[in-house]
Amino acid sequence: MFPRLVYESFRRQTRRKLLAGVAITLGVAVATAMIAVATDIGDKINRELRTYGANLLVTPQEDTLDVEIGGVNLKPPSDGTFLNEADLPKIRGTFWHHNIVGFSPMLPVTVKVGSGSEARDVTLLGTYFNKPLTFGKDDFTTGVRITHPWWKVSGSWPDDNSKEVLIGERFAAKLNGKPGATLEVNGHELRVSGILSTGAAEDDQIVAPIAVAQEILGKPGAVRRIYVSALTKPEDALARRDPKTMTPEMYDRWFCTPYVQSIAFQIQEVIPHSHAEQIRQVAQNEGTVLSRIKGLMLLVTLAALFASALAVSAAMATAIFERRQEVGLMKALGAGNVAIATLFFTEASLLALIGGVLGFAAGSVLARRIGQSIFNSQISLEPVLFPLILAIAVVVTFAGSAIAIRRAVKFDPVFALRGEA
């Protein structure tokens, strides 16, 4: 008898049930899309933000010393300490090597351009442009074309094994330099392959392969600093803890989480005599952007589910009001409040499950469209998300139906059978 009552309810009130089902489906679809994007957004946002530059700076450890005796600063001169270029591929040997997008060594050298009285001092910056490297069985390419994607070149990029250079646009204007021209730099003939525009100090400099800078400086393999671009997790309380004060279990969790601090720590372990630290502004902005986007998605999800609950409430209230005589008859025949509530909650559960399944399917399509249009990649939906979405659909439906069902169980059978409420 009970299944027949449920069936007849759906058959005789198809439009009411359809309205409630559509409301549940739409709310669940939005929730599915937002939850799917939010759980898969971290790496994608990080990759998008990596287009704004490196987030780690590696320098010689001696640069961090700050010794003062009797008011005299005995810090070693910064121009005398260097990292070893041969150690750079070891960055890809860290625990989080898959999170290392790229790195760029830098070696600034003060040089003279021209000869005689027309010679002028300028900074020549040695770096990698698009350098192929190998670490173990891992072949990869790195350089400023990866870590400094905002650098714009009019002309062509130099080859890392050539004597070609880029000249900054402001310096080029002073020299009237153009691609194809030749510069005399400290007795070396260097060919200009392109004009560089960065909006920063490089616009007044010469940018060359690092081997050229090392040759001019007379220090083969010397590197002054390294910019590293890595995919990281936003800071939390654990990230800011000093690893020296952690328990072994806490240290393992910190070490095995891609915080910018833990990746910096691992880089210091593989690069001898180095100090790695986050570029604070970039790293903090990543966490802020990610938190705000997730907060916005949560707000949209809650708003969609609240609107769905309101629509379900309105539909169920109207449907139950139309069935007040049926409720009165059931009570007159001896049905208790629990039996009547069970009937309506069973109908709500069926609506929730049907709307949840359809909403999950629609939300999956929406999530993939969002991923393709915004991140140009697929959003992956975890299997555990399906039962979670069904649970959300049931909770929303019950929340929307509770007031109407509570009113139904309080119907007086005498007034209900007479058509009064």
Note whether 164 and 72 are same-domain residues: yes
Note whether 40 and 71 are same-domain residues: no
Which one of 225, 248, 278 terminates a domain?
278
Q: What is the pLDDT of residue 87?
A: 94
Q: Are strands 68-69 and 56-60 parallel, antiparallel or unpaired?
A: unpaired
State phi, psi for 221 to the nearest 5 degrees: 80, 5
Please give the model's pTM, rounded to 2 decimal places.
Answer: 0.61
Q: What is the pLDDT of residue 410?
A: 63
Q: Are strands 188-197 and 164-168 parallel, antiparallel or unpaired?
A: parallel
Which one of 278, 303, 321 terminates a domain?
278
Note whether 18 and 139 are same-domain residues: no
Encode the chain (421 residues) as per-residue pLDDT tens digits: 556 656 556 666 677 778 888 888 988 899 888 888 877 765 566 555 555 567 899 999 877 655 454 444 444 444 558 999 999 999 998 988 888 989 999 999 999 987 777 788 899 999 999 999 999 888 999 999 998 988 999 999 999 999 999 999 999 998 888 898 999 888 889 999 999 999 888 999 999 999 999 999 999 999 999 999 988 877 778 888 888 889 999 999 999 888 888 999 999 999 998 999 887 655 555 556 667 777 888 888 888 888 888 888 888 777 776 666 666 666 666 666 677 777 777 888 888 888 889 999 998 888 888 877 776 667 777 788 899 999 999 888 888 888 777 776 665 555 555 555 5
Q: What is the pLDDT of residue 177?
A: 83
Which one of 278, 301, 316 terminates a domain?
278
Note whether 229 and 340 are same-domain residues: no
Note whether 131 and 193 are same-domain residues: yes
- Name which of 103, 106, 108 is nearest 88 in CA terms: 103
Note whether 77 and 179 are same-domain residues: yes
Q: What is the pLDDT of residue 1?
A: 55
Note whether 266 and 295 are same-domain residues: no
Note whether 86 and 204 are same-domain residues: yes
Note whether 263 and 187 are same-domain residues: yes
Residue 44 sits at the vertex; the CA angle it makes with 41 and 50, to the nearest 5 degrees, is 135
Taken in order 267, 271, 275, 278, the sign of the CA dihedral is negative
Q: Tell the residue number behind the tokens 């209900």, with chain if given.
A: 416
Note whether 28 and 113 are same-domain residues: no
Spatial separation of the C-alpha atoms in residues 196 and 154, rounded to whole Å: 7
Tell me, letter by letter, the H, E, C secondary structure of 174-223.
HHCCCCCCEEEECCEEEEEEEEEECCCHHHHCEEEEHHHHHHHHCCCCEE
Spatial separation of the C-alpha atoms in residues 47 and 410, rounded to whole Å: 57
- The number of folded domains in the chain is 2
Note whether 95 and 175 are same-domain residues: yes
Contacts of 10 (CB under 8 A, 6+ apart): 17, 347, 350
Q: What is the pLDDT of residue 71?
A: 47
Contacts of 330 (CB under 8 A, 6+ apart): 339, 340
Spatial separation of the C-alpha atoms in residues 146 and 251, rounded to whole Å: 31
- Name which of 405, 411, 421, 394 is nearest 343 in CA terms: 405
Q: What is the pLDDT of residue 74?
A: 46
> Two tokens at 159?
């080859």
Q: Are strands 222-223 and 83-84 parallel, antiparallel or unpaired?
A: antiparallel
Note whether 266 and 299 are same-domain residues: no
Q: Could you list the residue range(s) of the whole structural domain that residue 409 is in?
A: 2-48+287-417
